[in-house]
Amino acid sequence: MKAFKLKKEDIKNLITWKGPEGCMATDRITVDGCKIGYMYREEPDSNYPDSGWRFFEGTENEAYMNEIKNSGVYKLNTICNYDTSIIPFLNSPIGSAFYKDENGEFKPEKLNIK
């Protein structure tokens, strides 16, 4: 069982979201407590309540990502509790991507998903 950085009782309702609330985040965020350094929104999986959002600390390599145990599916509100700086970007359209620059500010990036 994963030892999440935030306990269930620590999660506050930070957003009002219309639509599917599911998103993917890596353990670097939810277990290690790192801030989000890269995020993108892809076409949601229609078989699940998926928003299309994917969140990463930014240093996860291919080997890390290939281990399914290193990530999980969460509600968007839960991930907002880990890093509130993502909230202004959540209504960005599918195909949006953002990275944190050296000043800790999100900047847009061209999404290049295969």
pLDDT score of 87: 98
* Domain ranges across the chain: 20-108
pLDDT tens per residue across span 1-20 = 899 999 999 999 999 999 99
Chain center to CA of 101 = 17
pLDDT score of 1: 84
pLDDT tens per residue across span 57-95 = 999 999 999 999 999 999 999 999 999 999 999 999 999
